[in-house]
Each structure stands twice: as structure tokens, then as C-alpha cells.
Amino acid sequence: MIYACGRCNYCKGVDFNDRCPEIFTQVWESSTARGRMAIARGILEGKLDYTEELAERIFGCFMCARCQEECKKAAQIDVISITKAMRADFVDRGIKIPEGGEKIVETALSSGNIFADTPQIHNQWTEGLEFTEGSGTLFYPGCLASHRFKEKTNILVRLLQAAGYILDFLGEEQTCCGTPLWVTGKLENAKQWAQDYLEKLQARGVKEIITPCPSCFRAFDEEYPELLGLETFPIIVRHTSAVLEEIVEQKKLKFTVPINKKVTYHDPCELGRYRDIYDPARKIFEALPGVEYVEMARNKENAFCCGGGGAVKTMFEDYSDTVAKERIQEFSSTGADLMTTICPACELNLTQGTYMVDIEARVLDVAELMAVSAGIVDEEILESDYFPED
Amino acid sequence: MVDIKKVTKLLSEVVTPTRVSDKDFDLFPYSRDLSPAKQKLPTHVVIPESREEIQAILRIANEENVPVYIRGGGTSHWDAYLAQEPGIMIDMGKMNKIVEINERDLVVSVQPACTWAKLDRELRKQGLTYLCSEAGGPAMTVGGSIMKAGSGPHGTAKFGFHGNQDVVTLEMVLPNGDIVQTGSAAWPSAGKFERQCLGPDLAGMFIGAEGTLGICTELSIRIRPATDIQERLLATMPSLDSVIEFGHFINRHVGDEYLQGIYLWVDPTAPEVFTLMMDIFGYEEEIVNHRRDRIIAKVKELGGEFGDRAPADDYFGHILTGLTDLFVAGVWHFFGSGTLRIDDIKFMYDIWKQELVEKRGYKKAGFGGQILPRRWLAFMVTNYREPAEWEELVEMAHGIDELILAGPVIPYGVGGRDGLRDIVASRDTGYYRLLKTLKKTLDPKNILQRGIFIPEEALK
């Protein structure tokens, strides 16, 4: 696959830094997909070797797949798979990977989540909520939605329950899905992790998982079957985008409270480019009264990364921040009041982007707008001066 | 031998350490271009942001006797910008700004690494366009195209290759660091509006020189109003003679400006089928319709047949915008390419059909070309698998190049030792000797693009 690179330079973009967040932050040709294929070829042919210095280029990739979106037209190279394999090579050969990468895996393995939260802290978002053990439909928030966005996650569950979904929750048994393992190339424990998790879910009678996190969604739906040698995962996995769209389409809730805001939407890479899921949020906005929807210049398959992908946030925070600021500036140029998305990692990075760019704007989950319009939460959460307690 | 650490330090002082690298993994991506040229590693990569930084880099290169190579989009088809010797690779990527769109004089000024797609995107916001397009336009740079006098499948019949008439002024940094403006820009109080004035056309000296005589830091080129009126035709002609007669018809009876391009394609699986793809250019629907009607009448008179335009849409679409499926059958190589008189296309076609397809049994390369004003730019192009088919491909392509260039064909590009350099040098023409004299005068240490176009030994 590496030799399929025609060296056409399309991955780099029309403006040379408008597509790839890595070259946007690192400037080098070695930061592009074309450059990575050249490096991979050099390694394959024995002319180059993995080094600690090289790690910045390989682990500095946001794995947003924007390059792949271009490459799939011309050469159809799976740049993400190659990047993952190269990261795993670092680990296999005992070459030091960026400290943040080591740390996130250690933390996830030792504490069960990427923030080293105690179960009590990790589950604070459930306050006031009731779950039905054994319902078969598991709500799986993942680490970010549990730790960082307690209010958002609480609102999301209230919305789902109001729409009639009977949800189970793992409670203190919930641990990280394992994404940090394969994103950092530390695969030695990954298979066992997936095996253990599957057994735990099956023992609890889980028939379906609903998760707001695209990484967790893909972990269960794509990575686990691959690790376990299964054709498909034996449990249905749905991202909340599909469930929220279902609520609208099947009219499970009435949306009567007008939003009265100009709204834009950031396409999460792992939903959009990875899974071709672009429409649900846009369809939902059409159903909400008072939403004036406007697209950002780079949207859908052309969307720029939020800066939160590829675990770059934990390994090269400055690069991640630079990309978040760029995306927030793009949001600002639309004149929209609200930035929305449907991924906790994007919400985190973009929220921090608003602080760094110093603009008063909220980054909301699509579910929060639905909850306001359905009268489940007060519309004050839409205001730029609203600060959630979490 | 290049003192790598010393040069790194010196470069870091003039462009900041964040834009200089001597790390092997940063150099590898600069070791190949779009061609099958052998891998050639530079010793450094440096990313300047201004002409002053380029001046400083050249000063260091001269003092340390280190050759300097120039990289735009990195998509040369003939080894024209790879480090022929260990040296500094200048990545021009950050000098990609649109400096000014002068809609009154219909001139745009850009930095050299501005891509054609970026330029056209911004021009069209103001109802303007450059009109010509390069194959792979979204990634190819204006400076790179013009410094190689490039063209593409969507050049205009009226205006020809890039740099033919459309270049108004150039800003060049000479190998000794001097900055030169050409055309009307040479007269500081005048502006950028005219190519030929104030003595010799020095822009022409740099265009096509593949960066050997100077580094381009700014260009101004003619632009024109955009039009939404489009007419695209696809015809199949019964013979190459009919294609030739159609070419003459366009040039003699219809007028050069009629078409944005006539693109000929002959597939190796059907070497007697001559497909023409045509985009008709005009600002008024009435005029475009008139031109279309005359072209239709002539094609029919010559025995041609019109077909569904969808294949032409598909072809132009994937060549000019997305490169769709271009590398699925392997990477690309252009060879046997050059410029020739309209009547001489038969010479190239015969070599393609008899030497390549029939004698060598190579049935993966198509034959194509476009009628530029009063001449062809023709080529053979193939997909091949790297590395398995590389050696056979290179040997075969070089053999065809030699045959082609022994005839009435002028090489489209020259390049380095894996390009056509040696074939060009062996001709020893007065033109080539003058070029060597110019090179020796402007670049006595042979710093810039050493080994490109002119072998180093030819300059001693």
C-alpha cells in the first residue's frame, strides 16, 4: 500500500496547510501523508529507522483522515492504518513514545479511565438519574463524557429517557473502552482488554450499546471485532447521532421551545470521514424551531480537525491548541452564536479553543439543543455567559 | 563534503531553527518527485518565508559551496528539482500567498508556491480566472509550472503553455543573491502590466530554465474574466490524418482562440481510435454556439463522430480536480513527451504504436496530446507498480525518449541525471553553449540546481 503513493501532493491541500492539521502545526513535508509514505518506504527498504526524534512526526498526526479523504480518490491508501501500524512499531521496538502517550495508557490501565478518576467522581454525572440494570440497552458515556462533561452527559441521558429509551449503565464497573491502547500503538494488552470487556457486557445481558463518544463507538464496533477476530461485534453499537436522529424521525419527543440562535456544526472526524455519518445533526437542526443553520467553510468530508484527534492532545498539547484555535476562528467567521458537535473530545478541545481565542461562545452537544427545545432543560444553557457547574 | 552541522547552524541563524532540518526522516520526503527518478537525498531542508531569507540562504550556500535545490509542490515529471548532489533543499511551501489581484489591469501577483487551485478559487470570487489549468492543479504551484514552462490538458489554444504570453513580470533572486525584476516591474516607478519592455525579455530567460538561473519569489500573470458559458464536445476521429487536418482547421480557419483545449487520447487497447475532447471558450453564448457549430461541421466532414461527453467530463474531472483512481493501477509516469509541429504527430504516434505497443509489447501506456497554438504537446503515459516494475519501466521509457528526441520533437522538460539532461547535452547546440555561458556568468560556483539541465562537468 505504501508504494501506491503517486506523490501527487493532494494530501497537503490547496493552501498547503488547509487540510492537514499536522502540517498546519509542524510545517514539514514529513508531517504529510505523502511524507509519511516516504518515511515508511525508507523504513521498509532499510534506509531509515524508527527513532525517538521521529516520534513527533508519527505521533503528531491527528489521525483525522483528511489526507485519506483525498488519497482515497487517487491512490486509496489507508493512511490511518499505516500510521497506527507505525506507532505500534515504535512500541514493538522499544523506542520511547511521547510521554503523554505512555501516561494515558498507564492511567487507563491502572485506574480504568484516562483521568485516574475514582468511580465516585467518574460517575457524578449520574446524579438524579435512574438506570435499569439488565434492560439490554447500555448507555456507555466513555471517559470524556463521564469526567469532563457531567452536565452535558446528564442532559443527554435525560433526553434519551424522556424519549423512552430504557437504559442500563455499568456504574462502577465502567472502564475505558481501550482506545488509548491502539492509538498509541501499545497493543500488547488490547486483545485481552477487548475480550474481558465483551465477556462483561454479555454477562450483563447487553444487547445494544449507545455511546456519545465516536472513539468508543468505533472501539466496540470496529476495533474489538478486529482484535478478537470476529466478523462483527456480537452487540449492536450505536452512536448517539443515530439515536437522536431516530428520536426526531419517529417523533418520540415534541420540539416546541424555539432555539432562536444561529448555529453551526463541527463534523467529528471519527464519525464523518471514518464512518460517513454527516447527516443526522443537520437533519435534527431542521426539526428544531428557531435554529438558523449555517455551515463552516470546511465542512463534512472537508472539515478541519478540532485538534483532539490521534491522542495529540495528550502528547503535543500546543499543537492540539493551535488547531482548536484555528477551528474556533473558522466558527467565528460564520457569525454563528453556537458551535455544536456530537463528540465529547471535540467539545472539550473546541471549548478550550473558545477560551484561547477569547470569544464568548458555547460549544454544545446536539443533544443539548434538543433538550432545550423539548423543554427538558432551561434555555439558559444556550447563552454564552452560562457556565455549567462541571 | 557538506559540513552538515555547520550549515544547519548557519541556516538556523537566518530562518530560525524551527524551519531548518537535517534529520533523515525530514529529508526522505524530499528525495523523490512524481517521476521514477532514483532517490536523491538532500542534506538539509529549509523553509523560507521571504525573498530576503532566500538571499541569505544563497549567501551561505555560496560561502560554503553547497548546492541549493528548489521544491514547490514536488510533482516534477522528470527529476528537475531533486538534489542531484548532497545539498540544501529549499521548500518554498510557505511562500504561497496571493499578493495582489489587480482587477483593473487584469494582472495577479502571487508568490511562487501558490497552487493553481488556490489562485483560481480566489480569482473566481471576483469573477476572474487564469483559465489555463495544470493536470493535478490543486497541488501544483504557479511558480513550478512557469519555471518549467509547463502546460496541461486544459491549457488554452489561444494562450499556450504557462509563460508563453501570460507571464507579465517575475521577481527572481539570482544565485549571487541579487534581486531582479523583469518586464515593467524592472522600472520601479511603473508597476506590473507589461512583459516586453526595457530591452531584452529577461523573463523568457528564466521561464523553462528549471530554476537553474534564479529562484522565483514572485510572479505576476495575466488573468481574464471568468465565464459560466461552457461547451464540451467529445468526438472520435477515423484516423490520425483527420486529427491533423482538424488541428490545422482550428489554427487556420477557425482561430486559435476558439478552444480552451483539444485533447487527443489514444488508448493502448484500441490504437486506431482517436478520441478528441474539446472545451470551447467564449464570453457570449451566441459566439460559443457559432464556434461549436463550425467545429461539429468540420469533424463530420472529416469523418468523425460525436459521442456522449461523459467520458470527457470524467477525464477532465479527475485530471483537473480529484485525480480520481489515477494511481489505482500503479503510480504514473510521463515519457516520450515533447513539443512538435502539427503534422509531425504521426512520427510520435508511430513510435508509440510500432516501437512501444507492437515491438516491445508494452500495452499499458496511452498516447495523448493537446493542440496548443500551432503545435502539439504530446506524450505517452502509463501506470506502473513500484518497485516491482520500476526497472523495466525506466529502461523502456528511456529507450523511447531517445527515439522520440532523435526526431522532430523538443523535450518538454529536461531535469537531472534521471531526466533528459544527457540527451540534451549530447546535442551541443549553440543554444546550449549560450545557456552554459549564462549559467557560468550568473552562478560561477554552480550553486543553484547543480546538475539540473546542465551536467556539472559541462560547466568546468
Query: Is A38 in Cβ contact with B31 (below 8 Å)?
Result: yes
Query: Is A35 in Cβ contact with B118 (below 8 Å)?
Result: no
Question: Min CA distance, A353 vs chain B (Å)?
Answer: 24
pLDDT at B371: 80
- Residue B133 contacts A where some CB pair is shorter than 8 Å: no
Place of cell 532566500: B54
- Residue B19 contacts A where some CB pair is shorter than 8 Å: yes
In angstroms, rounded to a whole number, what is the distance separating the alpha carbons of residues A364 and A370?
11
Residue of B nearest to A36 (CA): B29
Low-confidence ranges of chain A (pLDDT < 70): none
Starting at the earlier edge strand, list the strands of the sheet with B274-280: B305-306, B231-237, B274-280, B259-266, B366-372, B375-384, B331-340, B410-411
- Residue A73 contacts B where some CB pair is shorter than 8 Å: yes
Closest to A338 (Cα-Cα) out of A270, A304, A288, A278: A288
Question: Min CA distance, A331 vs chain B (Å)?
Answer: 20
pLDDT at B320: 61
Residue B382 β-bridge partners: B333
In angstroms, rounded to a whole number, what is the distance separating the alpha carbons of residues A135 and A7?
52
Domains of chain A, CATH where assigned? 2-92 (no CATH), 99-245 (3.40.50), 251-382 (3.40.50.1860)
Query: Is B328 in Cβ contact with A14 (below 8 Å)?
Result: no
The DSSP line for B106-148 is: TEEEE-TT-BHHHHHHHHHTTTEE---B-TTTTT-BHHHHHHT
HSE-CB at B68 with a 13 A cutoff on CA atoms is 35
ipTM score for this prediction: 0.94
Which residues in chain A have their CB less than 8 angstroms from residue B91's CB? 29
**CATH architecture of the region B98-225:** 2-Layer Sandwich (3.30)
Query: Is B45 in Cβ contact with A28 (below 8 Å)?
Result: yes
Which letter does DSSP use for residue B154 in this model? B
Count of A-B CB contacts under 8 Å = 122
In angstroms, rounded to a whole number, what is the distance separating the alpha carbons of residues A353 and B321?
33
Segment 374-403 of chain B within 8 Å of chain A by CB: 385-387
- Residue B31 contacts A where some CB pair is shorter than 8 Å: yes
Task: Per residue of chain B (460 residues), give pLDDT as tens.
Answer: 899 999 999 999 999 999 999 999 999 999 999 999 999 999 999 999 999 999 999 999 999 999 999 999 998 888 999 999 999 999 999 999 999 999 999 999 999 999 988 998 999 999 998 877 666 667 889 999 899 888 766 666 566 677 677 899 999 999 999 999 999 999 989 999 999 988 899 999 999 999 999 999 999 999 989 887 778 999 999 999 999 999 888 877 665 556 666 889 999 999 999 999 988 878 889 988 988 899 999 999 999 999 998 888 887 777 665 566 778 888 989 999 999 999 999 999 999 999 999 999 999 999 998 887 788 889 999 999 999 999 999 999 999 999 999 999 999 889 999 999 999 999 889 999 999 999 999 999 999 999 999 999 999 8
Facing B139 at nearest CB: one of A4, A5, A9:
A9
- Residue A355 contacts B where some CB pair is shorter than 8 Å: no
pLDDT at B155: 63
Facing B25 at nearest CB: one of A15, A48, A74:
A48
Starting at the earlier edge strand, list the strands of the sheet with A291-293: A291-293, A261-265, A338-341, A362-365
- Residue A251 contacts B where some CB pair is shorter than 8 Å: no
- 3-state SS record for B359-402: HCCCCCCEEEEEEECCEEEEEEEEEECCCCCHHHHHHHHHHHHH
Query: Is B34 in Cβ contact with A3 (below 8 Å)?
Result: no
Place of cell 514529513: A30
Which residues in chain B have their CB less than 8 angstroms from residue A38's CB? 28-29, 31-32
- Residue A292 contacts B where some CB pair is shorter than 8 Å: no
Closest to A165 (Cα-Cα) out of A216, A238, A221, A256: A238
Query: Is A39 in Cβ contact with B28 (below 8 Å)?
Result: yes
Query: Is B94 in Cβ contact with A39 (below 8 Å)?
Result: no
pLDDT at B149: 85
pLDDT at A13: 86
- Residue A20 contacts B where some CB pair is shorter than 8 Å: no
- Residue A192 contacts B where some CB pair is shorter than 8 Å: no
pLDDT at B166: 86
State the cell numbers at B301.
466532414
Question: Min CA distance, A134 vs chain B (Å)?
Answer: 49
Q: What is the pTM of this model?
A: 0.94
Give me the residue spans of the domains in chain B: 98-225, 231-411
Domains B98-225 and B231-411 share a fold: no
Fold of the CATH domain B231-411:
Vanillyl-alcohol Oxidase; Chain A, domain 3 (3.40.462)
